[in-house]
Structure formats: C-alpha cells, structure tokens
Chain A
Amino acid sequence: MKTIRIGCGAGFSGDRIEPAVELATKGHLDYLVFECLAERTIALAQQAKARDPRNGYDPLLVERIESVLPACVERDVTIITNMGAANPVAAADVVKELARRLGCRGLSIATVTGDDVLDLVAGGDFAIAETGAPVATLRDRLVSANAYIGAEPIAHAVAGGADVVITGRAADPSLFVGPLAHELGWSMDDWPQLGRGTLVGHLLECAGQITGGYFADPGYKDVDNLSRLGFPIAEVPEQGPAVITKVAGSGGRVTPATCKEQLLYEIHDPAAYMTPDAIADFSQVRITEIDCDRVAVDGATGRPRPGLLKVSLGYRDGYIGEGQISYAGSGALGRARLAACVVQQRLSDLGVRPDDVRYDLIGVDALHGERLSGANREPYEVRVRVAARTQSIDAARRIGNEVEALYTNGPAGGGGAAKSTREVLSVASTFVPRALVSCTVSCEVI
C-alpha cells in the first residue's frame, strides 16, 4: 500500500528554521509544508504590498527556502507553502532567483493565485459575519480581503510536477490535503478521505505543537530536550490510520497526549470542522501509541464542503499605545496601584480620551483579572501596564509617555519603563459564494 511521508517545517511566520532543515535532510520526506499565515499576517502583508508592489510575501521566505532547497532538490522533496501571503507572484519570483543562485536547474515553481478578493468584496453586497453590518461600511479602512482557498489548486500544481508550490491565503490543512489527494488518488468529492487528510493537516499545521512544543509542564508533562524540539512527520497510507512521528534523535516527544491537545487546538464542534475542502468530523478519532514517538490516528471522516468560502477582512482600526514600569520589594503592590492611579488622572487632565483603556498589574492580575488571580497576596515584584486604544497616533503616544514619566514623577523605585505605539489592524470575516472565487495555477521551470 502506498504511504506518503509529509512533514511540517513551520507553524507560524516567525517559527524556528533548524527543525525544517532536520526534516529536509533526515526526514525521508515526500513533501515539506511551511504554514506561515495567521489571521492578521495577511493584512499586514497587504499593507507591505501597498507600499511596495514587489513586497507582501513572508519576511523569512528567502531564509527558509534557502535553508532547505538544496536538500529538498537532492532528495526530491516537494515544498508547499503559503509564504506567498499577499503576493505569491512576487514570492515565486524571489524563489526563482534564489534557485538560480543556488544552481538548482530544472526546478518547477508553481504559484497559486485567486484568494485576493478585495475588489469583489469591497464592491459587493456582503455582510461582516461578526456584526452583520455591510462590508462597505469599512470603506477606505478596508486593507485586505482574502478567501480561504482549498486543496484543489495545490493538488493540480503537484500533479503538474511542481517542486515548489507557493500560495497566498490557502486554508492551513489544505496545504497538506492537496498533495495527499494527488498522491493517494482522492477525488475532490471523496468527503471521508478529505476528512482524513484534513485531520493530518490539522494535527501538523502548528509544527512543534504536536511534538512536545507548547506542552511541557514540569512534573506533570515532561518533555525531553525541548530546546532541540523536532518538527512532525505524518505517514499517510491510502487507507487506515496515519502515523504521527518525528525525526529520530530530535528533541521533544510524540505521545497520545501531545496529539490530543493538538487535535482540539482551535477546534469548536469536533464533528464539524469547516474547511474549504470538506466539513471534517473528528468526533470519533482514535489515538493510539504504537511505539516510542509513533502515534496512530484514525477515525476521521468528512461531509460535503460548504458552499461559501470564508473571507478574512483586514481593516485599520485606530491605534494602541502602551507603557510599562516595574516596582519591587515591600509595598511594591501599593506603589504599582498608585502609579496606575496617577497615570489615569494625568491622562484625564490632559484630555486624552481613549476609546478603551486597561490598567494591568503584571504578576498580579494581568492575564485573568482579580477574581481568578486571588490578587490580594503581596508579590515581590509588580509590573504596571497601561494600554489604550485611540483614534490618533498622537493620543497613543501619550499613554506610553505618561508611564515613562513615572520615573521622575511617580512613586518610589519605578524601573525598567518601556513604551510602544502601533496601528491596529483588526480582522473580521465574511463569506462569499465559491463560484465567485477562481484560482489559477501558473508554473515555470527554471
């Protein structure tokens, strides 16, 4: 029975590079996937593209591809990535240039486009899913609209012999479902098989999160050699369980517990995980350890795909200004509370009227609020954090400035002040009929 080995070399745009090199050289892979797009990343990339039409792809594209391409060429490993972000065409040009420089002749590089639906959505009659308001109400604040596209164009690209496939906003699991569908002969309406493939993609898409990353809790959940965490490989046969594993000798571990945590990560109804390829059903999934760092996963299925595609909307949404400062020793909590009160009064006196503001005491109540934190104990050190959303960058700057000014104008012993301002790019979603989104695969051999 044919079995495909597919690895995940990145689970977010800033992920570590070394585990992907390890996968490329020692993983005996057929495919190496890099998943680098979060909800907001694509909106940021659209802004970069607006400033420079040759930009808008992942900032680490060259570094990542350069680190694995020679090994992948030598071992015939196909690379699939959504690092094209807002500009897959420019990303492909950069990869072509890189391949020439590295002397990789005869390489076939495919580009998938069509996810950018800004013109369609800005000019159409679509509602924002979260609020029900028309998308048109965002007007010139709308900076991006990208549909989550599925596995089909990726499968076409690999069927056409691509060695590197570069997409924009493809859905994360679809980066895995595409090559699996091609290799294992699944038709794009074989819902149970697409559900199986979606399970594999979902488990792998966050890379180290299934091999012991984001898992360790000393004494409860111990992980060997976390600093050299290896990234995952799935062995996917035509039928039956897939096996999740990692490169022998790499750090981390693959156990039923790591697989269960990742199975439910960012899942709502496990019986209805919506993707562009199928509505996957993970509710009957079974997870079994078969050897050290080898876990079998089985029992996923699927139902017909949704008729609408989800679209991620990025829009400018004001500014956030922030400042922090620390207090220590006896009375630290009291001085920190006084500092927060002083900043609040000064912002009010200055006429700064934020849309929203919060005062946190880091180390006391910042993450979950006073009630869950039991905030009455006296900590050795406290960090005051003031964050506010404002309409203007100038107002945002006032927040951090007033915190910094606590050095000479606040309670005793404040240290380590820091401040920042940033434009807020918010993300909302809408849905468009699938028929209105057409994807194109273009391929060039260099």
Chain B
Amino acid sequence: MKLRGIGHSRSGDKGTIANISLIAFDERDYPRLARHVTAARVKAQFADLVGGDVIRYELPAIGALNFVLHGMLGGGVTRTLALDAHGKSLSSALLEMEIPDDDC
C-alpha cells in the first residue's frame, strides 16, 4: 500500500534545505511508519532531487516523523529554475512510497 493510506504530510523549505513531515492519521500506526520509512528509504525516494544527507527526527508523542533533506538541487527557493521552487509538492511524492499492507 501507499503511505497515503495511513499518513499525511506537509513540506517546505529553508534555503537549500527541505523538510517533509510524515504524520500517522491514527497514532497506533506510528510504529509502522517508524519501521518502514527510514532516512535511507527517503533519500532513495528523492535521489533525483536531493544531493545531500537526509536526517530523520522522531516525534512519538504526536505520532510523527520529520525528514530534513539537505542539498536540494537547483540552489534553493530564490534561484532555482524548478517549477515548484519551494518544494511544497514533495509531501505528495513521499506519500507515494509503498509499504507492506499489514504487518501490525
């Protein structure tokens, strides 16, 4: 299944760094997100768009993860040629990620 089935997301930028949140609709699904959506998988998902490290922060109290993507290609919001200069649509790409259907 796609992450979109159990999680929601919002993304934004600061300079050449983007962040993408991933929040469980139901906090009981947080362990699934934490297990399957690793920093390495997110880096692989965005390999064409991100040059640097991906760091994952965990917020179990609200059932959420926060991914910080360093080195967005194109040089950041003010000079990039990208159509979505702010990386606002990255959230939708993260939610496309496939995870196993049921492993609760």
Query: Residues on A close to B: CB < 8 A?
Result: 39-40, 130, 214-215, 217, 220-221, 256-257, 260-271, 283-287, 299, 317, 320, 356-358, 360, 362, 366-372, 385, 387-389, 424-429
* Residues of chain B from 41 to 87 with CB closer than 8 A to chain A in the complex: 45-49, 55, 57, 59, 61-64, 66, 68, 75-79, 81-84
Residue among A270, A271, A299, A369 making CB contact with B48, cutoff 8 Å = A369
A267 x B83 contact (CB < 8 A): no
Tally B residues with Cβ within 8 Å of A: 41
Complex Cα distance A221/B4, Å? 11
Do residues B83 and A362 form an inter-chain contact, with CB atoms below 8 A? yes
Q: Which residues of B contact A261 (CB under 8 A)?
A: 8-10, 21, 23
* A286 with B62: CB separation less than 8 A: yes
Do the beta carbons of A269 and B48 come within 8 Å of each other? no
Are B10 and A265 closer than 8 Å at their CB atoms? yes
Judging by beta carbons under 8 Å apart, are A426 and B19 in contact?
Answer: no
Q: Report yes or no: B15 in contact with A270, Cβ–Cβ below 8 A.
A: no
Q: Choose among A265, A269, A286 the residue that contacts B57 (Cβ–Cβ < 8 A).
A: A269
Expressed in whole angstroms, the minimum distance between the Cβ of B65 and any Cβ of chain A is 9
Give Cα distance in the complex from A239 to B45, angstroms: 43
**Residue B98 lies at the interface, judged by CB distance under 8 Å to chain A:** no
| Complex partner residue of B82 from A271, A286, A358, A371, CB under 8 angstroms | A358
Whether A217 lies near B8 (C-beta < 8 A) is yes
Q: How far is the CA of A424 from the CA of B81 in the complex (A)?
A: 10
Instruction: Using A367-B89, A368-B49 as known contacts, say yes or no to A39 and B81 having CB atoms under 8 A apart.
Output: no
Any A CB within 8 A of the CB of B40: no
Q: Given that A220-B8, A286-B61 are contacting pairs, would A385 and B83 also be in contact in the complex, using a CB cutoff of 8 Å?
A: yes
Q: Are B45 and A264 in contact (CB under 8 A)?
A: no
CA distance A269 to B56 in the complex (A): 9
In angstroms, Cα B62 to Cα A264, docked, is 11
Chain A residues closer than 8 Å to B75, beta-carbon distance = 426
Q: What B residues does A356 contact at CB under 8 A?
A: 81
Q: A220-B8, A265-B10 are in contact. Are A360 and B83 (CB under 8 A)?
A: yes
Provide the residues of chain B in CB contact with A263, threshold 8 Å. 62
**Contact (Cβ within 8 A) A429 B15:** yes
**Residues of chain B contacted by A387 (CB below 8 angstroms):** 81, 83
Residue among A217, A320, A368 making CB contact with B89, cutoff 8 Å: A368
Which of A39, A256, A264 is the most central at the interface, judged by chain B CB atoms within 10 Å of its CB? A264
Q: Knowing A265-B12, A369-B48 are in contact, say whether A389-B17 is a contact too (CB < 8 A).
A: no
Shortest distance in angstroms between B49's beta carbon and chain A's nearest beta carbon?
7
